[in-house]
Amino acid sequence: MMRDQKLFAAIATSMLALAGTAGSAHAAENGKFQIKVMATNVAVDGAITKVNRDQLGLPTGSDTRAKDAWVPTIAAEYFVSPRFSIETICCVTQHDVRGSGALNGAALVDNAEVIPATVTLKYHFPLEGGVKPYIGAGPAYFMVFGESVGSSARALGATKVGLSSEFGAALQAGVDIPLRDKAMGLSVDVKRYFVDTTARFHAGSQLVLETEHKLNPWVASAGVTWRF
């Protein structure tokens, strides 16, 4: 995770340095739509917040953590006015869930796919040269599918696992930086999601383990923009 954060910081620093070559280009309004194509790091928590049922006999101090992921992201944005916009994103992330604490290293869930359907209302702060920091917030719905039982959970007798899809919320902050042709630009964006999920492990038709988890991922992106 630390290596991913350093890599993202390096990408963001390089982009900001490149933006310095934009000089004093002033941002003309080039239409109400903006598309962003970005590289995104998804850093998920995944800790257990509650154990509702445990017939597998988890040891005291058991916990879990979801593995981080790098994915390509596309964002589509509509400007209601020069300062207000509505944005949605499109991406699919894949995560494995591993044990921590007393379960350190245990393979519990493999290949959980997540679509973080998100809509945010953003407020922009136009600065000299067309640079636009912004903040935003909005609802999110995490659709989870494709998950399978990890080898350690299977060794304990679990044959099937399901992670619930849930509603949550997102906070957002970032900055858009125009390049010389004004329609093109650079963007750095950070979101913090607040969303939970419930994991249910079955042995045959019997529910043997049910745990609640906080996902609460940090989602950091950097990429290029096109305004039209």
Residue 133: how many CB atoms within 10 A of its CB?
15
Domain boundaries, the chain: 2-227
- pLDDT value at residue 26: 39
In angstroms, the CA 182 to CA 167 distance is 37
What is the tens place of the pLDDT at every residue in 196-210?
999 999 999 999 999
Name the pLDDT band for 128 (thresholds 50, 70, 90).
Answer: confident
pLDDT in tens, 175-185: 999 997 678 99
Residue 75: pLDDT band (50, 70, 90) is very high
Give whole-number Cα distances, 19 to 25, 127, 191, in Å.
Answer: 11, 14, 22
In this structure, which CATH number among 3.40.50.720, 3.30.450.40, 3.30.1330.10, 2.40.160.20 belongs to the domain 2-227? 2.40.160.20
pLDDT of amino acid 30: 62
H or E segment at 153? Answer: helix 151-155
Reported pTM = 0.84
pLDDT at 25 over 90: no
